[in-house]
Amino acid sequence: MVKQLTVISGKGGTGKTTFTSSFAALAENAVIADCDVDAADMHLILQPEIFEIHDFYGLDVATIDKELCTDCGICVSSCRFAAIGSGKVVDVYKCEGCGVCEYVCPANAVSMIAKKAGEYYCSNTRFGPLVHAKLGAGEEASGKLVSDVRRRASELAEQSGKDLIIIDGPPGTGCAVIAAITGADMVLVVTEPTKSGIHDLERVVQVARHFRIPVAVCINKRDINDRLSVSIGEYCKINYIPVIGMLPYDNIVIEAMVEGRSVVEYSGGKFSEGIRSVWGKLENLLVQEKEGLVELL
């Protein structure tokens, strides 16, 4: 049975990828999936050697044949997304590919065109297989791409006998995050002791609970505001969320990043010890009966 762990934060910049890349180094038998498809960073640390490239098609886009168009305006008034402007031009950034305009056009002037919106890759890295992606600039459907990345990661895990998929999730609480956590065995939220960090932690915990996924929390940059770190701990206690680590701000994170290494590879210092300890606790939580954790929800 392949387990899946998704690392999220709600808020960007709390250190998701720092942790995930170190987990990748520490895990014995895992596939890594970088699901922050808008701004994938994992490859900067894992230096992947790509062995497989897949095209990603998001939603189709409407195009209007100016020769056939009679300017009747039915498509314009039927489009709920205000994507068809004057001059029979479709705004690709507004079109959601629903196909209504194509259906209502009496002159058959509209067609839906498949549009390549990005790519996803399977790679070998020094820590095992990595599935990662690049969404074209300004493309839609990042949630769909996240699902594709996860599906390929699951197939790879099955094929190569891995027992864990570690997913680096996107920021936020919307489409991409939902796609990154649904069906996961566990969510780790990396947070920071700032007002924004707490606000986003609370929202993202609600999302995880909405989908009935067990949550653990790790506090990064603990010493930016010790008082708020305590508040986060209290919030977690009241909500039966295990806090499995509290790490101080450490410049070693940027140093390791500049060298293209994960922190645990780069240094054996305190921060690395902290990550190792978090990883140990995560492994324990992951092998526990999933049902046992859900009971707390």
Partner 1 sequence: MKIAIASGKGGTGKTTVAVNFALAIGNTQLFDCDVEEPNCNLFLGLDLDKQEDVSIAIPEIDSEKCSLCGSCAEFCCYNAIAKLPQRVMIFPKLCHGCGGCQIVCPENAISEIKRPIGIIEKGVHAGSGISFFQGTLGIGEPMATPVIRRLQAHIDEKAVVVVDSPPGTACPVIATVGEMDYCVLVTEPTPFGLNDLVLAVEVVRQLKVPFGVIINRHGSGYNGVEKYCYSENIPILMKIPYDRKIAVLYSQGIPFVQRMPQWKENFRAMYHEICSISSENTLQDSYSGVRN
Would you tell me which residues interact with partner 1 (CB under 8 A)?
A: 9-14, 17, 37-39, 41, 44, 59-60, 78, 80-81, 85-86, 89-94, 96-100, 103-104, 135, 137-143, 170-178, 192-197, 199-200, 203, 206-207, 210-211, 224-225, 228, 251, 254, 257-258, 260
Q: How far apart are the first and last CA of the chain?
A: 23
**Where on the phi/psi map is residue 201: left (φ > 0), alpha (ψ -120 to 50), or beta?**
alpha
Q: Which tokens is 1 given?
A: 């049975």
Q: C-beta of 263: minimal distance to partner 1 in Å?
A: 13
Residue whose CB is less far from partner 1, 95 or 275? 95
Residue whose CB is less far from partner 1, 42 or 236? 42
Residue whose CB is less far from partner 1, 2 or 233? 233
CB-count exposure of residue 254 (10 Å: 0-12, 13-18, 19+):
exposed
Q: C-beta of 217: minimal distance to partner 1 in Å?
A: 16
Question: What angle in degrees, to the nearest 10, is found between the helix axes of 226-238 and 195-210?
Answer: 20
Q: Which tokens is 12 given?
A: 């960007």
Residue whose CB is less far from partner 1, 69 or 92? 92
Residue 203, SS3?
helix
Structural contact between residues 46 and 228, judged by C-beta atoms closer than 8 angstroms: no
Residue whose CB is less far from partner 1, 28 or 65? 65
Helix (H) or strand (E) holding 135: strand 128-135
> Quick one: how far is CA 283 from the chain centroid?
20
Residue whose CB is less far from partner 1, 258 or 287? 258
Q: C-beta of 29: minimal distance to partner 1 in Å?
A: 27
Structural contact between residues 117 and 58, judged by C-beta atoms closer than 8 angstroms: yes
